[in-house]
Amino acid sequence: MAHNTTTGRESAEMNGDIWPSIMPEPPYTKPAYWRGATVLVAEDDEVWRHVVVMILRKHGFNVLEAANGREARELYETPGHAIDVILSDILMPHVNGVELAKINFEGRFVPFIICTAVNDPFMALEALHHGVQDYLVKPTEEHLLINVLIGALARHRFYQETRENPAFEGNLDRIIIKPRLSEVPLAHSWLFHKMEPLRLANRDKGFVYALYEFIMNAHEHGCLGLGEQLKGELIRSDRYAEELMRREKERQGGRIEICISLLHDKVAITIEDDGPGFDPQPYLKLSHDDLIERLKRPSGRGIAIASRQFDSVIYGNGGSRVTLIKLLGHPAATLA
């Protein structure tokens, strides 16, 4: 599949012999916790919506279908619909994907993923400012779609479970974690806990969610040496998780240090790994066209997007240390 919109001929082929090649049986197994999760699919392209719904149901998800943004909003607002994640197009009749993301951002705030063919950097960035966790370009590959959904659900579930019992207690302002994927959400959850005194509304939490990208960058790029090009190749061939685990086993040492300071009118977070560093400038100074081009790739876009949530992003020590500063609209409280 290499099209943005589906023609009548392609639609007919999907109902014939080509269908099995579009939707092969999954070559991998995943943790069972996400099976039965409900995905709200908001998509006005009937053929693409049908493809996505079939894929999701094949992998064990429950699906609520909406042919436009208004239908999606009605399903979202109907009592009794336990929606676990939203997968939405951007351009739709009545209510577009950005407006839907804003409704979710100020409401239940479930994981929200954009899947669109729209090459509009302004709409993409506006959606990301409303708590959208990922951005996929249609047509996306099946394993990438499923892995993005599972990742969003896993992080959301982890944050919900650690909300009342945070992974790190006490008046800490610094933690050190090992370069293990299992410890990345622990560190992110700790940062969430540290932000509790700020009493941020959902619409103001975008920068907190963006911190995950910087911790993951320290882990996979800094400590494990997975560069952008190699990561992209691994994701396309569905070998990323396998290679990540292999490198984690090979590297017994390593560390990522995270520090946080809640100052009078700003928050400062420093993340440092013990890797060789990298040149961050290509990711921080992107034109709108370059940003859209990166949004189409499976890697090399996280830092570019996440950095836009902060007022200042300062790299040091050859790129292995980053200090992120967010200005606040009100005086900050002390650390919890």
Residue-level pLDDT at 72: 93
- 0.75 exceeded by pTM: no
Residue 274 belongs to a domain with what CATH number? 3.30.565.10
- Please say whether the beta carbons of 213 and 303 come within 8 A: yes
Assign 29 a pLDDT band (cuts: 50, 70, 90): very low
pLDDT value at 17 more than 90: no
Q: Which of 91, 122, 154 is the last residue of a domain?
A: 154
pLDDT value at 197 more than 90: no
pLDDT digits (tens, 9 = 90+) for 213-255: 899 889 988 899 888 888 888 877 878 888 888 988 888 778 8
Give CA–CA dist 310/75, Å, rounded.
Answer: 33
Domain count, the chain: 2
Same domain, 114 and 134: yes
Q: Which of 154, 178, 207 is the last residue of a domain?
A: 154
Residue-level pLDDT at 81: 81
Same domain, 182 and 143: no
Q: Which of 107, 130, 154 is the last residue of a domain?
A: 154
Residue-level pLDDT at 1: 30
**Would residue 335 count as lying in a domain?**
no
Q: What Rg, from alpha-carbon coordinates, does the chain have?
A: 20
**Would residue 127 count as lying in a domain?**
yes
**Would residue 2 count as lying in a domain?**
no
DSSP annotation string for 241-293? HHHHHHHHHH-----EEEEEEE-SSEEEEEEEESS-----HHHHS--HHHHHH
**Would residue 214 count as lying in a domain?**
yes
Same domain, 150 and 199: no
Could you tell me the residue range of the domain that residue 42 belongs to? 8-154
pLDDT value at 120 more than 50: yes
